[in-house]
Structure formats: C-alpha cells, structure tokens
Amino acid sequence: MDNVVYADCVLINGKVATVDAHFSFKRAIAVKQGWIINVGEDQEIQQHIGPQTQVIDLGGKLILPAAHDSHIHIGWLADSWHCLNCQDVRSLAVLRERLRDQAARTPAGAWIRVCGLDPNAIKECAAEQRSLTRWDIDDVTADHPTLLALWDGHSCIVNSRALALSGLDASTPDPLGGHLGRTASGELDGNFIDLPALHLASGTMPRLTVAALKENLLAAQRLMNSEGYASYTEGAMGPGKTRARWALRGIAPSPPTMNCRMKENSPPGYPSPFTPRAGRSVLRHPEARSG
C-alpha cells in the first residue's frame, strides 16, 4: 500500500465501458487532477481512497468515455445564443408572429437575427412549391433589418430593409459559387444561397464583440460538455471567434479541446475569413499546434 496514489475522486458500484480491445466493463474509476489513474473492480479501486478523496456511489449507472465530434461548427452554435431560434417553425403564421414579437422587443433600426429556419418545412411554401421570400416578412419587420439564417448554415433570407442596406439590387450579379434568388423579372427576392451569397447578405450586419463571442462560445461549450463531448474538430471558424475561443483557456469548467482545420487558400471569388496577416497571427498563437 506504500506506493498507492490517493485519488481526488473515486467512483464505485457502476458499469464502466472501457472501450478497450475487448470492450470490457469494469465497476469503478479512480481520478486524480482530472486524469483517470485506474479502472477496475470496486475492491481494487477502493485502495485509492484517502482522507480527502471524494467517493461517489454510482448505483449501477453506466459511464461512457467522453466523445469527440469530428466535424462541428461550434461558432454557429454560439451564434444561436444571439438569435431568434425558429428551428421548430412550420407555418408562416408562427414565423410572422415570432418576428412581430421580436420586433416589439428590439430597438428600431437594430438587426433581428433568426437561426435554424427550414423554409421547406413551412407548410404554405410546401403547398405552393415556392421559397420563402422577403415579402413574406417585410410588414412585420419594417423597422428592422432582418436576416434569417437557414438550418443548413450556408444560406439565408433577408427582408427588404436589410437588402436596401446591402446596396444590392437586380443589377447585382451572382457571386462565384453562390446564387441570388430572383423573381421572373429579375428582382431580388431576398434569398441568398451558398456561402459567397450569404457573405454578401450579411456584409452590413454588425459583428458581435469579442466579449459577446466569448460568452456565447462558453455557453455552447458547456452544452457540449453536458452532452458528453470532451473535444471537437471545428470545420469553419474565422479570426474573431478563434481569438475568443482561445481567450477561454483557463476558465472553469474547462472548455473542450478544439481541433481547427485551416484552409490555406479559398476558391477564386470565395471570400476568405483570413487575411494573410490574420492567418499568420493565428498560427503563431501559443496554443496552436500542428496536427
């Protein structure tokens, strides 16, 4: 017993999925300084119990290893904390009611941001085999530029006020790799499809401050922790969110580990989130490591 290390926490009387070569199950875990130091049966693990050790009786509950999400957009999830979530909207009436209520709570002239909307799920659009357009929402958002980010994360719909602020009109050509929705006469209907078009639509929308981004990212990462995720690979994150994410280092509870895929060049005509200077500053960050 002289060489036994006392744990900070011991969990006993459980069903622990080890995910070893045999996918065996054990009953107990010993943890010290955030690391699992032993996994085994109750009697074996109880030797790690010292005077200061917290002991948790699992009562037969299952413990699974933490998960890694290999492709997620934590930045988009974080953005949802500053938007009106319309993921469950299935009719124009409900959409318009939510926008009207949001407009009443929003100062005149300030942007309204919507996320999660699926126009294909709106019964009126499905019945008429058409897309949602800016004219469906203009009268309930007349005093507010409004952007409806769609569920796919690649497209959006804006109202007429947002369209006017963008300076885009019927003479604006489709960006390379994107498409602007139009009427039969060529007038813009408010649909911006695929990322190059989405960047055009959102160009005049105020960006969140780093402080707000940090708050939103922390809330998103706490949600991931609560669902059992300890790490993730971020598929697309610009310099602002990247800096905000790194600024969360050391904040308890510790955010999940982030792997970030970085593209050296964007396709021709595709708006790059990084300028050369911004890209170099990110790569020089002390927390950045090559994979």
CA distance linking residue 131 with residue 124, whole number of Å:
10
pTM of the model: 0.70
Do residues 48 and 158 both lie within one domain?
Answer: no
Rounded Cα gap, residues 139 and 42, in angstroms: 66
Within this chain, do residues 45 and 137 fall inside the same structural domain, yes or no?
A: no
Spatial contact of 27 and 43, defined as CB atoms under 8 Å apart: no
Any idea which residue has 């969140």 for tokens? 208
Q: Give the CA radius of gyration of the chain.
A: 25
Co-location of 57 and 101 in the same domain: no
Residue 2 inside a domain? The answer is: no
User: Residues 142, 106: one domain?
Assistant: yes
Distance CA 201, CA 181 (A): 12
Instruction: Count how many residues are written for the chain.
Output: 291
Q: Per the domain annotation, does 159 fall within a domain?
A: yes
Tell me, yes or no, whether 90 and 194 share the same domain: yes
Find how far residue 212's CA is from the centre of its chain.
Answer: 14
> Which of 203, 238, 265 marks a domain boundary?
203
Boundary-marking domain end, from 203, 229, 262: 203
Which H or E run contains 147?
Answer: strand 146-150
Matching residue, tokens 């209520």? 101
Between CA 243 and CA 285 the distance in angstroms is 9
Residues 125 and 41 in one domain: no
Tell whether 218 is covered by a domain.
no
- Report if residue 169 sits inside a domain: yes
DSSP structural state of residue 235: S
- CATH number reported for the structural domain that contains residue 181 in this entry: 3.10.310.70
Are residues 199 and 87 both part of a single domain? yes
114 and 186 both lie in a single domain: yes
Asked whether residue 58 falls in the same domain as residue 102, the answer is no
As a three-state string, the secondary structure of 187-212 is: CEEEEEECHHHHHHHCCCCCCCCHHH
Residue 264's pLDDT is 46
Domain-located, residue 156: yes
**HEC letters along 51-112:** CCCEEEECCCCEECCCEEEEEECHHHHHHHHHCEECCCCCCHHHHHHHHHHHHHHCCCCCCE
Picking from 203, 222, 241, the residue at the C-terminal end of a domain is 203
Query: What are the b/e assignments for 50-86, b being 16+ CB within 10 Å?
Result: eeebeeeebeeeebeeeeebeebbbbbbbbbbebbeb
Per-residue pLDDT of the chain (291 residues; tens, 9 = 90+): 568 899 999 999 999 999 889 999 999 999 999 899 999 999 999 999 999 999 999 999 999 888 888 888 887 787 777 789 999 999 999 999 999 999 999 999 999 999 999 999 999 999 999 999 999 999 999 999 999 999 888 899 999 999 999 999 999 999 999 999 999 999 999 999 998 999 899 989 988 887 888 888 888 888 888 888 888 888 777 667 777 777 776 664 555 566 655 554 444 444 444 444 544 554 454 444 444
For residues 87 and 46, membership in a common domain is answered with no
Q: Do residues 87 and 137 share a domain?
A: yes
pLDDT at 166: 93
CATH number at residue 21: 2.30.40.10
Domain that holds residue 128: 83-203
* Parallel, antiparallel or unpaired: strands 229-234 and 67-72: parallel
The number of domains in the chain is 2
In a domain, 231, yes or no: no
Q: Which pair of tokens denotes residue 76?
A: 């988009």
In whole angstroms, what is the distance from residue 155 CA to residue 148 CA? 9
ω into residue 253 within 30 of 0, thus cis? yes
- How confident is the model at residue 249, as a pLDDT? 67
Is residue 222 assigned to a domain?
no
Q: Which two tokens stand for residue 124?
A: 């009126």
In a domain, 281, yes or no: no
Residue 185: burial class (beta carbons within 10 Å; 0-12, 13-18, 19+):
exposed
Residues 191, 100 share a domain:
yes
